[in-house]
Amino acid sequence: TVILLASGGPVDDGDPSEPDVAVEQVGDVVVGEGGEPPGETELADIVEADVTRRGARVVFRARMTRNIPQRVKGGGMTWRWDIYDAGVGTWILSANLDIGPVASLTSTQTDYGSSTFDDSLPGEMTIEGDKLTITLTPGKLEDWPEQFEWTLGTMLDGAQGNPRSALATDAAPDEGRGTVEDG
């Protein structure tokens, strides 16, 4: 007799040394309408997400259900943190695997933009197994909020360059917005 148990419940590794994280439902990726859907939708599935202030740095972290590749062959993968100051969207921090791992930061209020592609991002991006981490040192940025709320969305495109291809998406937190924790 074989018994198979499956759950779409949250994953919590229970590590008390970690700051509060947005623990996400596993397997809640949504695949939109369109042709050529991505084959490995679990790449877009967020397990945990958090934003932590560590001294002068702000660390954005996402843990996925599987290891993150350096590229998505034939497709594209994007992580996007929308940053809200007093309820208004003010910054967008994104990472993608389109041409290899690249992170960028854009102000929605000014003409500021920076990227790891040209080494102008005030920080760095790392991928280790199933974790994507972007560490910013925002001290030189004008109008960077001391406290803010955030949301994270993922988008996996199985046929990059085809605007009608189906996208696999996930969001963190599942409801509402996350807050910055001191770490």
Tokens of 27: 């397997």
Alpha carbon 26 to its chain centroid, in Å, reads 15
pLDDT tens digit sequence for 56-78: 999 999 999 999 998 887 788 99
Cα gap 69→77, rounded to integer Å: 10
Q: Could you tell me whether strands 46-54 and 57-64 are parallel, antiparallel, or unpaired per DSSP bridges?
A: antiparallel
pTM of the predicted model over 0.75:
yes
Chain segment 113-134, per-residue pLDDT in tens:
999 999 999 999 999 999 999 9
Give dist(CA 32, CA 167) in Å, integer: 5
Q: Which of 153, 151, 122, 150 is nearest to 138 (CA)?
A: 122
* Residue 72 pLDDT: 83
The pLDDT tens digits for 16-40 are 344 455 666 677 788 888 888 788 8
